[in-house]
A and B are shown apart, each in its own frame.
Chain A
Amino acid sequence: MTLLVRSFVRAADADQFAGELAAVRGAHVAALATTTLEVPTATEAELRDHARITARVHRQAASLPARFGVHYESQNALARAIGANERRLARELDEVGLRNELSIILSWRSARPRSGNAGSRAATSGREYLLARAASEREKQEAESLVARLVAVLAGDRAVIRQFICPRDGVAATVAVLTTREGETAVRERADRFARETDEVTVAVYGPMPPYSFVS
């Protein structure tokens, strides 16, 4: 038997998920897990299932989403792991357990020479390598400037925003915003304003999601 961990909730909240998820309790924090026979595999179906389950838990209670694939072979092993991490989990539940994450993705409107990690790409000459590296640096600077403008429009505290610059081809940045459930509309409206004022990128807002980017 394998316990695939989905979310962490306050121990007092765990009962409402009985029958749907196995609850393994510490003194203050409980892990909610799916019982499976095999080691989990990160297929698209499994990943979307994990996203659905963590989202459902988060809608019903303060929660922290587990990274996909964290699993234990027994309830005792999971209980020991909770005990060893309980202070941190309880603190994070207090800090972000009731908050949602919105993901804002800024995608370049025009095609760019592939940047990313120029150093990891095969260059046929030193000149090509230097050109690729320069393009990469330019794209990174432009993306950072865009994110700075977005953050100014969001008027948010940087402590509740995490940014990922040039995460892949065609994407200038993904920005994770931690917000209260009541504050989502304001974030969307501000992102909409930024989209209307910006020509370089398209702007997409996804969520709400559990606070994946703000837990450890």
Chain B
Amino acid sequence: MNDLSTTEIPLVDIIDRLLERGVVLAGAATISVAGVDLVELRLNVVLASVDTMDRTRAVARS
């Protein structure tokens, strides 16, 4: 049994939410972390964070 806690959302969850969810339009978008480009989007290509890309690659390899 435990109590509910409500505090500021952890950074890792902010990253998941802001980089993997939200509206994406057709167009160009480049996401960078610390100056290193992670993904460059053109047209309707779905945006993915590094973690998502890693998971996708792991699935593709298995």
Contacts and interface: CB of A to CB of B under 8 A. Distances in A.
Contact of A41 (B9, B32, B55): B32
A103 B5 CA distance: 12
A89 B23 contact: yes
Given A68-B19, A70-B23, A81-B27, A202 B2 contact: yes
B18 A103 contact: no
Nearest to A82: B25
B31 interface: yes
Nearest to A70: B29
A43 B34 contact: yes
A199 B23 CA distance: 37
Contacts of A168: 12
A204 B17 contact: no
Interface in A31-80: 39-44, 47-48, 50-51, 54, 64-73, 77-78
Given A42-B31, A69-B31, A204 B18 contact: no
A84 interface: yes
A137 B32 CA distance: 33
A135 interface: no
A174 B11 CA distance: 14
Given A41-B34, A203-B5, A84 B17 contact: no
A188 B14 CA distance: 20
Nearest to A89: B23
A156 interface: no
Contact of B22 (A44, A81, A192, A215): A215
Nearest to B11: A44
6 contacts: A40-B30, A43-B33, A65-B23, A69-B31, A209-B9, A212-B21
Given A105-B10, A195-B1, A206-B9, 7 more contacts: A43-B33, A47-B14, A47-B18, A67-B24, A70-B27, A71-B28, A196-B3
Interface of B: 1-35, 38, 47, 54-55, 58-59, 61-62
Going nearest first, the 6 A-B pairs with the smallest beta carbon separation are: A120-B58, A67-B22, A69-B31, A206-B9, A68-B18, A212-B21
